[in-house]
Every structure is written in C-alpha cells, then in structure tokens.
A and B are shown apart, each in its own frame.
Chain A
Amino acid sequence: MTAGPSRSVRSSNTRACEGPLAIGLGAGHASDSPGRRKAATAEAHRATEAIWRIESARLIAGLARVVGDIGTAEELAQDALVAALEQWPAEGVPERPGAWLMGTAKHRAFDLIRRRKMLERKHEEIGRELERTQEGLEVDTAIEADVGDDLLGLIFMACHPVLAKDARVALTLRVLGGLTTDEIARAFLVPVPTIAQRIVRAKRTLAEAHVNFEVPRGAERVASLASVLEVIYLIFNEGYSATAGTDWVRPALCEEALRLGRILAELIPTEPEVLGLVALMEIQASRLGARVGPSGEPVLLLDQDRARWDRLLIRRGLAALDRAEGLGGALGPYALQAAIASCHARATTAAETDWPRIVALYDAVAELAPSPVVELNRAVAVGMAFGPAAGLDLVDALVGEPSLKSYHLLPAVRGDLLRKLGRMEEAVAEFLRAASLTDNVPERDLLQRRAVECAAERMTG
C-alpha cells in the first residue's frame, strides 16, 4: 500500500531538517523559503497545542507523583511545553512527542529534586556521582510507573474535598482537561484573573493541607470519589443548563465533562457510581441538539422532537447503565438518576413515559440523597403520574424551604402545575417570579412567555 499524498505532506513537517525541504532551503530557494518556514512554524504550533491537549494530564500526573505537588508538576510540564514550542518548529515534531515532553520535564524534575536534596543533606557527605545515579533510577521508576494510577492520583488531588467547589472545578479543567485559564474563564463567564486566582489559591491550599499525591483507600476513598463525581457533574451541568449568559447550553463544557467521566470509567471500571454518572451524562447529552429551538430558546424535555435525540449517546448511556447495574448491589444516586433519564430515553413519545417508575426511582434517590431539589423533581414526576393536584401538594410543602428561596425552578414548576389546574392568575405570578430569579437570558425569556400565555388563557378561559 502506498502512502497517500496527504500523508507525505505531513511527514515533510515532521522531518523538516533531514528531508528534501532542508536541502531546498540550503540550496538557496530564498524566494519561497520564508513563507514555507512560516507555514511550517504555524503548523508545528498547532500540532504542539494539540499534543499538549493529549499529553498534559499524563505529563502533570507523572511529574506530580515525583515532585509531590500539582503546582511544581504543572510548572515543569509548562517548561517542557515552552521548550517544545521553541524547538519543534525548527527541528520538527519528534516521532513520540509525549515521550519527548516527559523526558524534557523529567530532566528538570531531576535537577529540582537534586537541588532539594542537596539543601536537605548539606551536612551529609555523599558522593555526588553515586547520588546522581541512585536518584536517576528513583525518578525513572517513578515516572514510568502505572500511568493510570498517576492519572487517578491527579484526579483525586485536583478534586480533593479540602478545596472549595469552584476551586476543584477550575483546577480539574486546568490540569486534567488541559484548558488554559482563559478558556476556563470564558466557559464560566467570569474574569480571567478570578480563575487564575482560584487556581493559585487551590494549589496553595493543597500544599498547606499537605495533601499527598496518592489514590485514597477505604472510607477516605468513598468521600474523595464522591467529590470527583460532583466536580465532573458540576462541569457538565454548567454546560447543560448554563446558570448565566446568553447561551442556554454550552456543549463544549458537556463534552469536557463527558470526556473526564469516560476517562474515569476506564480507570475505575468497577465503581457503579462512576458508570452511573457517565450513563447519566451520556443520556442527558443525547438531548443537547433537541434542547435548543431555532432562535436559541430552550425546548423543555416533554416538548422536544425526540427524532433529534442522539441515538449513539443514548446507546452508550444505556450500555453504561447496564454495566453499573451488572456490578450488583443497590444503585447509588447517579445510577438512579441515569435510570430516570433512561425512562425518558426509552419512551418514543412524551406520552409513553413511564411516570410511575420515575416516581419510584425518585423515591429511591430521595431516600439515599435527600434534598429539596430531588423533592421538587419528584413532585414533577408525581404530577405527571398522578395528576397536577398531587404534584402541587408536594411543591407547596417546599415553598418555605430556605435553600430553594432563590431557585427559579421552584416557582417555574409550581406555575406549571397551577396552569394545569386552571389557576391562571397564580400561575402568571409564579412564572414571573421564576423569570426574575434566573440570570440565563433565553431561559428568562421562556418563563416570561409562559406568564404571557397564562395571562392570555385567563382572558379567553
């Protein structure tokens, strides 16, 4: 089989110095070489950026195991990236760029450790040559240890419960997602310095709390894993129903969260809740395309065109849920929510939804992880399964709940149930209150439209 033309174009980049291109430059084709070199530089930069995206998490993880903290590991990795950006455009992208970056960073880590140890042991008399060899071996073994374990260690460290939620999210996207501070700031619609500060503070908190780079075990592992899953789902949710701004959904954030979830499910394939979270995100993401109307307005679940749901993601989600259920034992909160999502995914039309089963699943969620938001969701399901009056009773019980005081979906759900009961005047007030409580523009418009519809129905009805 001969290599196609596109392949040989690429290889001229990777071997720019030894191939015909280098000879051409040397032979004095001065007229086109600057342009060609510029193009090659731009291409090498793009390639380097892509390689960074692929390698950075593994790189930082491997280094963090050696040096012990995320901050130093990230600095070493960044230094290696800078070296790559300097060298690759001229010398070509190496055949194994990941190994190159790791090798470069490893040398710097080695120097750093040597300097640290020199400080620690300045009174001891140790043959410098001997020390070098031994430490060289230590660093080598540490860096070549199980990459999966390293990644897990990094995930647990970035999502450590000692950190505030905001900090965990920012640090995770930065060191595991390979996103820049600018990209994170854009995604969360906050100023760049805010994110930069969050990350700096998070690293300091980890250092001050002496958080070790390790995969936690036993009871600590349960708490740590819950914290990891929470971070991933927070990222997903910010993309799935943005709390602020002019976009109703931001798919890129959902994709980041899904990617992190899929990686985690590969690293710990026997944790039902990891699979449960992945299943939940896959199924919810299958509706992304159907959740937005032609002018960017939100389309709620029961009004969506189900033909636009992504069958591939549904299939992947159902498969992950099957695997979670197959591991045995009672389902956790994420797997239960995935099971609820699967009820919707399996219904060909909204009318075919198995609401009694959804109510039963919400009962189980409420038992495991009771929260006012779960109660509110349960009330919606009860309203669908057993009529709006039954749903309204449950919602009314939540009205005084302090944690839902500024939660726009409480009045939105209440408005919806009141509307179904024909109590239009109250429904209008609830929808307007809901609209005043959200900062997301398309969602606010939708709620205001509902209020207008109810007002009109009151006039005609």
Chain B
Amino acid sequence: MRVLIMAKEGEQSAAATPPTPEAMAEYQKFNDELVKAGVVLEAGRLYPSSQSKRVRFDGKKRTVIDGPFAETKELVAGYWLWQVRSIDEALEWLKRAPYDGGTFEVRQVLEYEGM
C-alpha cells in the first residue's frame, strides 16, 4: 500500500533558525535508510504558507485566498509518499525519524479502483 506522510511541523517563518548541519545530516541519514529499504516513492518540502494560495469553491463561485494562513499547527511543511505493507510498518519507520517536534500524519492512498 501507499501512504502519504504529512509533516505538520507548523509554520516555517523566514526568521526561524535554519536546521543545524547536524540535524540535516541526521535527516539525510534517515531518508537514505528509507530509500535503501525501497520505501520512498516521492518526497518534497513545501514553501511557507506566506507564499501559498487557497481556492475556495462555493457552488459556481471560486475565491482565491492569499497566504499566510492562520492555523499554524495544521500546516503541512513537507510530505513523503511511501510504499509499505501496512500502516503499522509506516508507523514503525516514522517513529525512527530524527525529529523532536511536530505532528506527522499518516494517510493511506486509495489505489487500484475497481479491484
């Protein structure tokens, strides 16, 4: 199965201190391990919400809303698409990630419609 991991790390403001080289190396090591295990299909980081837009649909009406958005804890800062055998496997991998804050959401992707 495929799972989408959403890193709800909160808003990354421009003033925030960039990650230390040690933290980056830790992250890189973890990501390498995932790739070597054939788990990662795709990964990406997102720009802060100040550079984002939202489109709200209401019947025929479309409203474009400019960032930044207020609900900082719900904002996604990055994502992974993983190929795993079960949600539990995804959880076991995720628990090994070198993070000390934030919430990471694990969602299964719908696949093979009609099968």
Contact = CB atoms under 8 A, between A and B. Distances in A.
Contacts of B81: 312
A249 interface: yes
Given A4-B8, A47-B91, A312-B81, A289 B113 contact: yes
Contacts of A289: 111-113, 115
B38 A53 contact: no
B86 interface: yes
Interface string A130-161: 00000000000000000010000000000000
B103 A3 contact: yes
Given A260-B38, A289-B112, A255 B83 contact: yes
A49 interface: yes
B85 interface: yes
B21 interface: no
Given A258-B38, A258-B83, A50 B103 contact: no
A51 interface: yes
Interface in B50-101: 73, 81, 83, 85-86, 88-89, 91-93, 95, 100-101
B15 interface: no
A100 to B, nearest CB: 13
A385 interface: no
A422 interface: no
A263 B81 CA distance: 17
Contact of A54 (B35, B92, B101): B92
A266 B36 contact: yes
B115 A292 contact: yes
A1 B10 contact: yes
B18 interface: no
The range of chain B's interface size is 20 to 34
A50 to B, nearest CB: 4
B41 interface: yes
Given A1-B10, A258-B83, A6 B103 contact: yes
Given A4-B8, A46-B88, A259 B103 contact: no
A7 to B, nearest CB: 6
Nearest to A98: B96
A323 interface: no
Nearest to A51: B92
A296 B115 contact: yes
B112 A3 contact: no
Interface string A190-227: 00000000000000000000000000000000000000
B112 A2 contact: no
A186 interface: no
A419 interface: no
A263 B89 contact: no
A49 B89 CA distance: 8
Q: Which of A1, A6, A249 has the most CB of B within 10 A?
A: A1
A288 interface: yes
Contacts of B86: 50, 53
B55 to A, nearest CB: 22
Interface string B1-12: 000000011100
Interface size class on chain A is 35 or more
A260 B37 CA distance: 9
A312 B41 contact: yes
A293 interface: yes
A408 interface: no
B101 A50 contact: no
Given A2-B101, A258-B38, A294-B114, A50 B92 contact: yes
Contact of A1 (B42, B85, B101, B113): B101
B31 to A, nearest CB: 12
Nearest to A263: B38
Contact of B41 (A97, A148, A261, A316): A316
Contact of B85 (A53, A258, A262, A266): A53
Nearest to A2: B101
A251 interface: yes
B51 to A, nearest CB: 21
Contacts of A263: 36-38
A115 interface: no
A38 interface: no
A266 B86 CA distance: 22
A47 B112 CA distance: 26
B95 A10 contact: yes
Contacts of A312: 41-42, 81
Nearest to B38: A262
Contacts of B111: 251, 289
Contacts of A97: 92
- Name the residue in B10, B81, B113 with the highest tally of chain A Cβ atoms < 10 Å from its Cβ: B113
15 contacts: A4-B73, A4-B102, A4-B103, A10-B95, A50-B91, A54-B93, A249-B115, A251-B112, A255-B85, A263-B36, A289-B112, A289-B113, A292-B114, A293-B114, A296-B115
The 6 closest A-B pairs by CB, nearest first: A1-B101, A4-B103, A262-B38, A50-B88, A259-B38, A50-B89
Given A49-B88, A263-B36, 12 more contacts: A1-B10, A1-B101, A1-B102, A3-B101, A47-B91, A47-B92, A50-B92, A53-B85, A251-B111, A258-B38, A258-B83, A312-B41
